[in-house]
Amino acid sequence: MFEWLFSATWSPVVVGAGIGVLIWMTFLLSDRPLGVSTAYAKTAGMVEKAISRENVKSMPYYRQVTPEVDWQWTIIIGVIAGGFISAYLSGTFALSAVPPLFAATFGTDTLLRFSVALAGGIIMGIGARWAGGCTSGHGISGTLQLSLASWVAVVCFFAGGILAAGLLFGFGFL
């Protein structure tokens, strides 16, 4: 009955329906959109607050978005824990500094892999703040609310993803 829990891949229909129920419950119980990029900004604020409390108090962004651990911040923990549990249950969990696809395309240099991952994370973080939200915030919550900005952002996410994949791996996949 629950063998799907142990599968390496899940049905996109089931996952999509699960995310749909999750976002409905999020709006019903908290009247807030689902997203994680603000939690990363709050984390940066908490780190800076530990270093210079007065500096954080003077920043307009942190007067609007209080740097604190809240329910949205715990989603990050849930994503990490959920990914680990899913990989463990499916038998696909493995620690690897350089994933096979990266190694096949760019080589096995660990420093290059970590540098690319760090740069990509920073660029994605900046993009999420610039776009006013992340892929889950716009793609799930924003489109559900029929936000024009979210629909534009989602189209740009897909176009950027296709362009990046084409530049990295060739456009033969189209």
Q: Which tens digit of pLDDT belongs to each residue from 56-95?
A: 888 898 888 889 998 888 888 998 999 999 999 999 998 8
Write down the pLDDT at residue 137. Answer: 83
Write down the pLDDT at residue 126. Answer: 87
Minimum mean pLDDT range among 11-15, 53-57, 102-106: 53-57
Answer yes or no: is pLDDT of 173 > 80: no
Mean predicted lDDT score pLDDT of the chain: 88
Comparing 174 with 117, the larger pLDDT belongs to 117
Q: Which ranges of 31-147 does DSSP label H, i.e. alpha helix?
A: 37-51, 53-58, 60-64, 71-90, 100-106, 110-130, 135-136, 143-144
Answer yes or no: is pLDDT of 111 > 90: yes
Residues in the chain: 174
Write down the pLDDT at residue 107. Answer: 92
How far apart, in whole angstroms, are the C-alpha atoms of residue 25 and residue 34?
Answer: 10
Whole-model pTM? 0.73
Answer yes or no: is pLDDT of 108 > 90: yes
Surface-to-core class of residue 111, CB atoms within 10 Å of its CB (0-12 exposed, 13-18 middle, 19+ buried): exposed
> What is the average pLDDT across 130-150?
86
Q: Which amino acid is at 22?
A: L
Answer yes or no: is pLDDT of 174 > 70: no
Answer yes or no: is pLDDT of 5 > 90: no
